[in-house]
């Protein structure tokens, strides 16, 4: 188990999200991390960035990220 400090380091970023909430799921088989700022997160649009991150939108708001090749980061 990683030290507790590893889990606390994202807190400043979480506090900057619109609802101050973040849900994450890692799919080891697909090597994909899903980061959601809203539950349920229903995207109406998305775009793939140059660094293999899918930015998901609901209307004009970012509702999450899908991070491809997560273990390589």
Predicted local distance difference test score (pLDDT) of residue 11: 85
Residue 25 above 90 pLDDT?
Answer: yes
Residue 63 above 80 pLDDT?
Answer: yes
Q: Are 49 and 65 in contact (CB under 8 A)?
A: no
pTM over 0.85: no
Half-sphere exposure of 72 (CA within 13 A, CB side): 9
pLDDT digits (tens, 9 = 90+) for 43-57: 999 999 999 999 999
Predicted local distance difference test score (pLDDT) of residue 57: 95
**Least confident span in 5-9, 54-58, 63-67:** 5-9
């Amino acid at each position: 188990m990683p030290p507790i400090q590893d889990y606390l380091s994202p807190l400043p970023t979480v506090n900057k999200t619109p609802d101050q909430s973040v849900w994450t799921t890692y799919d080891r088989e697909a090597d994909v991390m899903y980061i959601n700022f809203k539950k349920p997160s229903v995207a109406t649009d998305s775009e793939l960035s140059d660094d293999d991150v899918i930015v998901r939108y609901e209307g004009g708001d970012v509702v999450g990220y899908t991070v491809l090749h997560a273990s390589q980061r």
